[in-house]
Amino acid sequence: MRRGLLIFALINILVLFFLVRSVSTLLSLLLEDAAADAIQSTELPSLNSSLIEHPQLIPKIIHQTYKNGSIPEHWRNPQQSCIDLHPDYEYILWTDEKSRAFIAAQYPWFLKTFDNYAYPIQRADAIRYFVLAYYGGTYIDLDDGCNRRLDPLLAYPAWLRRTMPTGISNDVMGSVPQHPFFLRVIKVLQQYDHQWGLPYITIMYSTGPLFLSVLWKEYIQDSPSDMSRIRILMPEEYQKYTWSFFTHHTGNSWHGKDARLIFWMGQHWQFLTFCGVSLAAFVGLFLFWVYSRIMHRRTEHLYPYTTVPSPRLTDYP
């Protein structure tokens, strides 16, 4: 009996350990404010200056994605604003056809996963990580227009955009070719290719911003060298002010929704933590109940006659 209890306790501790471990990155992500890596506005040159104070690291390439070459009307202006501001940059539009050909040629081991994604947005997410890993450059979603030249952002080995109050997005990002972060991202994409019931969660966590945020958090926890540090573009520099880098345009952007879910999770993190702990307690109690039932049965089986039936009145007429 004593030994059984000990084993039961050990199993519970193990289960709890794995539960906590598997959500710990998510929990710590909610608390990560990225302050240490934020790009400070004082680091950036004034609006119209094309001067880069530090050497340019990221190549002058702009990547965008759409299913084919016919960009819908409401995204033509933002697209053109980026092209017009950067005549000296190479511009690449990754259509479905071009993306698939690129994966087939450069990353054939990924082609099966790429083709088998259930949702087109997963391919649109994945291709941006591969082209950044391969060519480097700046990826920009079609619903983000350019408000000023990207030059100052080319001085970092890689940068991602912060979403408030937690996580990062994958709608604009920049990187040198072969950056260790993006190499890691493309390497683990297959591992994260799971169905999670809801399409929304599946997309978020297999290729989307939640997937990227978790990897980013893991990456900074492993404290890479300064050489490959990822800098974070904060909301003010993203699109809040006249001197911010991007402008937002309406369109049915997927990532607006993502941001809202992450936002909701961030606002309710105490509640979510409470739910997690309650769930763990419930699972623990349930296991204990199962355990005591089994022990009870076993006792009955070992000593079947120890419970003396109580005498019934009818036995003594």
Ligand X SMILES: *[C@@H]1O[C@H](CO)[C@@H](O)[C@H](O)[C@H]1NC(C)=O
- Give ∠ CA 201-204-207 in degrees, rounded to 5: 130
- To ligand X, the closest distance from the beta carbon of 147 in angstroms equals 10
Rounded to whole angstroms, the Cα distance separating 236 from 258 reads 20
Would you say 181 and 156 are in contact if contact means Cβ atoms under 8 Å apart? no
Single residue of 22, 40, 42, 70 touching ligand X by CB under 6 A = 70
Single residue of 41, 50, 56, 68 touching ligand X by CB under 6 A = 68
Q: Between 47 and 164, whose beta carbon lies closer to ligand X?
A: 47
- To ligand X, the closest distance from the beta carbon of 132 in angstroms equals 25
Q: Judged by CB under 6 A, does residue 310 bind ligand X? A: no
Which residue stretch of 66-74, 99-107, 183-191, 204-212 sits at the interface with ligand X (rule: CB under 6 A)?
66-74
Would you say 185 and 214 are in contact if contact means Cβ atoms under 8 Å apart? no
The DSSP code sequence of 249-303 is: --S--HHHHHHHHHHHHHHTHHHHHHHHHHHHHHHHHHHHHHHHHHHHHHHHHHS
- To ligand X, the closest distance from the beta carbon of 65 in angstroms equals 13
Give 45's DSSP letter: P
Single residue of 6, 20, 47, 104 touching ligand X by CB under 6 A = 47
Q: Between 69 and 108, whose beta carbon lies closer to ligand X?
A: 69
Q: Which of 116, 118, 138 is nearest to 128 (CA)?
A: 138
Single residue of 22, 42, 48, 223 touching ligand X by CB under 6 A = 48
Single residue of 55, 69, 197, 317 touching ligand X by CB under 6 A = 69
Q: Between 4 and 120, whose beta carbon lies closer to ligand X?
A: 120
For the chain, the 3-state helix, strand and coil shares in percent, each to the nearest 5, are 55, 10, 30
- To ligand X, the closest distance from the beta carbon of 28 in angstroms equals 40
Torsion sign, CA atoms 283, 289, 293, 296: positive
Q: How many chain residues are in contact with ligand X, going by CB under 6 A? A: 6
Which residue stretch of 5-13, 67-75, 197-205, 294-302 sits at the interface with ligand X (rule: CB under 6 A)?
67-75
User: Which residues contact ligand X by CB under 6 A?
Assistant: 47-48, 67-70
